[in-house]
Structure 1
Amino acid sequence: MSVCKVRAKQFFDESSIHGLRYITERDRHWTERLFWIVTCSLASLILVKLSNQTITQVVNSPVSFVQETSYLKWNTEFPSVSVCETDADLGNIEVTAEKNSTIRLFSNTSTGPGVLSFFVHREVFVFLHAKEDVPYFNIPEEFKELVMLSSDLVILFKVNEIENDPLLLEVPVKTRKCRFPHENSLKHHKAYSYSACVTECRLKAQMNDCNCTHHFMKTSGMVSVCRLEQFECLLNYSDTWKRLKPHHSPQVGIHCPCESSCTEHDLVVVSKHIRALSDDAKSRVVVKMQNLPSERFKRYLIKGKGDVFVTIGGLLGLFLGASILSVAEIIYFLCFRKTSLQKRGVVKAEAVG
């Protein structure tokens, strides 16, 4: 008997993996051996298939959404409201608040739905968006409104928040298909958001086509602003830059491979009402939450790296009765058992016999 056969027989006889010893034991009928060969082979095939499915799920789609309705005492953040003037040529300006200050407005069962009301004295655009977003050209029409003088605008909205599992930070951005604000690869914005990414994508398109960018674009000073004689180029490509298109699409537009934001809430405008005011010098804007959310979404990690080992370990125990010690046993037989047997002359004696 060859050395390989001797070592294989010894492994099958002494292994902790169930069923193997019945294949090589003496005085076993050939039908018993055949039964255990087929059984162990089928168990191994099913084990490999299920393990491959587990690994594929972790690699390709480890993130899932669930809807939570059990706990309703969370604080709901009021969305951001941006006001942009249609005519920025002001003769004077009165500063009444700290620059870039933030109003931390929360809504819960104690405070009730939030309401934001303010007056404007010029024609303005009002944008409703998530806190990490910026007003940009491609914002949906329902989230922006032109407020004329002597008008009263009431925006009614509802929001469902998205909570993220902290373990999602261990998953690559490409796999979870969203970015957190601190995972910022942008050059001209301090935090990542989908709108900021699209804005920088349009900036890159302007640089590629005209070698300069519009003076209204937010930059960090590292790109050149178009001079008066270069505005003709901006006008020629303006229709192209306004449209977003999928990759390889024949349509006119720019392709922006921007991931969505992991923290962006599900914001829905329920209604917008505009009516005339008697006061010609100002307009009123009211942004109101329709009701407190009765549910929220949670993005969580289905299986992490540790869960993969636990799952595959469970499959090994279920189909083969094996464990991590069984794997160590295989390594022992391949690497150390031969040396131990040779020292005792067992392999040589059995091989000759």
Structure 2
Amino acid sequence: MSICFTKLFPEYSDEAEVFVYLHNPLDVVAPNDITNVYQIAPQARVLTVDLEITAFSAEAQVRRIPIEYRKCRYPDESNLKYFETYSTALCCMEHRIHRAMQLCNCKPHFYAVGAELPTCTIDQLLCLQRHNWTQTNCTFCLQLCEYMFYVQLQQSIEQPMHGLQLEGVMGQKFERTVNIQLNLPYRGIRRRVVFSFDEVVVSFGGAFGLFLGASFISTYTIIKIFGDFLMLNFLQFCRQQVLRRRRFRIRVL
């Protein structure tokens, strides 16, 4: 139960290159992203990839912290223009669209969003290639507060079994094999609030009582009573001034 083993048989000829992308099923493929595992299945070989899941979770208090402090987003906190939900890959995709518009004033044809933007022609695609558009920097895109991704432990390339090296269609179909061994994680990473506002108040009250010999609540009560006393006297003074002005007007009349 600790290992999930998957065997794939790409139905392509031996002359074709097979690119394997392994990513979170709830997200899209993001080229050059560290959370995606990328491999090439060679011709007439068995590619075996060992993976491990790395999971990030978060406590409920994390959502109360502003985004600029927690440095992560939830899917319903999207600030993207073309996507209602947020993910790091979608943020990078939108940034690629904006950069393509800035460089060559077009949007690549393989992006379905942004229907109002002009689609790149062949000359404009060559323009994107000249500007090395694929190396778009997406480091400013925040990670999700709760997400998981695959970490590649190791990969190996072996000769196929003799039983699979048969003549005809079956031999061409099963000569190249991709084995994926998924190991379940032994530990996870959890985001939590180390020092919340309540803990700040408690710590301040403890330090206040330690150095002044009085509790925070008692000191707050004294300050509140003194503040109420000043406020009541100020209001009483204002009322007396108003009454004096009224008496003066009556005498003048």
1:112 matched to 2:2: yes
Structure 1 partner of 2:56: 162
How far off its partner does 1:206 sit? 0.2
Instruction: Pick one of 81, 94, 118 that aligns with 1:200.
Output: 94
The letter of the residue matching 1:117 is: K
Taking the aligned partners of 1:299 and 1:338, their CA distance within structure 2 comes to 45
SS of alignment partner, residue 331 of structure 1: helix
The letter of the residue matching 2:215 is: A
SS of alignment partner, residue 126 of structure 1: strand
SS of alignment partner, residue 9 of structure 2: strand
Structure 2 partner of 1:247: none
Taking the aligned partners of 1:303 and 1:141, their CA distance within structure 2 comes to 29
Q: Structure 2: where are the runs of 5+ without partners? A: 166-170, 237-253
Q: Is the 8 A contact 2:21 2:36 kept in 1?
A: no
Q: Is the 8 A contact 2:5 2:180 kept in 1?
A: yes
SS of alignment partner, residue 333 of structure 1: helix
Going from structure 1 to structure 2, the CA distance change for 1:168 and 1:157 (only over 3 Å counts) comes to: same
Structure 2 partner of 1:296: 188
SS of alignment partner, residue 173 of structure 2: coil
Q: Is the 8 A contact 1:149 1:281 kept in 2?
A: no
The letter of the residue matching 1:119 is: F
Structure 2 partner of 1:234: 128
Structure 2 partner of 1:68: none
SS of alignment partner, residue 327 of structure 1: helix
1:305 matched to 2:188: no
Taking the aligned partners of 1:112 and 1:230, their CA distance within structure 2 comes to 49
Structure 2 partner of 1:65: none
Instruction: Pick one of 147, 150, 157 that aligns with 1:267.
Output: 150
Structure 1 partner of 2:219: 326
Going from structure 1 to structure 2, the CA distance change for 1:337 and 1:263 (only over 3 Å counts) comes to: closer
Q: Is the 8 A contact 1:178 1:262 kept in 2?
A: yes
Going from structure 1 to structure 2, the CA distance change for 1:149 and 1:316 (only over 3 Å counts) comes to: same
Structure 1 partner of 2:168: none
Q: Is the 8 A contact 1:161 1:297 kept in 2?
A: yes
1:121 matched to 2:11: yes
SS of alignment partner, residue 120 of structure 2: coil
| C-alpha RMSD of matched pairs (Å) | 2.8
1:146 matched to 2:40: yes
How far off its partner does 1:305 sit? 2.3
Taking the aligned partners of 1:141 and 1:197, their CA distance within structure 2 comes to 14
TM-score under structure 2 length normalisation: 0.73
SS of alignment partner, residue 147 of structure 2: coil
Going from structure 1 to structure 2, the CA distance change for 1:196 and 1:142 (only over 3 Å counts) comes to: closer
In the TM superposition, structure 1's runs of 4+ consecutive aligned residues that sit over 4 Å from their partners are 337-340
Structure 2 partner of 1:175: 69
Q: Is the 8 A contact 2:87 2:143 kept in 1?
A: yes
How far off its partner does 1:338 sit? 8.2
How far off its partner does 1:181 sit? 2.4
Taking the aligned partners of 1:160 and 1:271, their CA distance within structure 2 comes to 15
Q: Structure 1: where are the runs of 5+ without partners? A: 1-110, 245-253, 344-353
> Per-residue displacement from partner, 1:97-121 (whole Å, max 9, x unpaired)?
xxxxxxxxxxxxxx33212222221
Structure 2 partner of 1:49: none
How far off its partner does 1:339 sit? 5.5
How far off its partner does 1:309 sit? 2.2
Q: Is the 8 A contact 2:9 2:173 kept in 1?
A: no
Structure 2 partner of 1:336: 229
Taking the aligned partners of 2:55 and 2:82, their CA distance within structure 1 comes to 27
Alignment of 1:2-81 (within 5 A): none
Q: Is the 8 A contact 2:36 2:150 kept in 1?
A: no
TM-score under structure 1 length normalisation: 0.55
SS of alignment partner, residue 258 of structure 1: coil
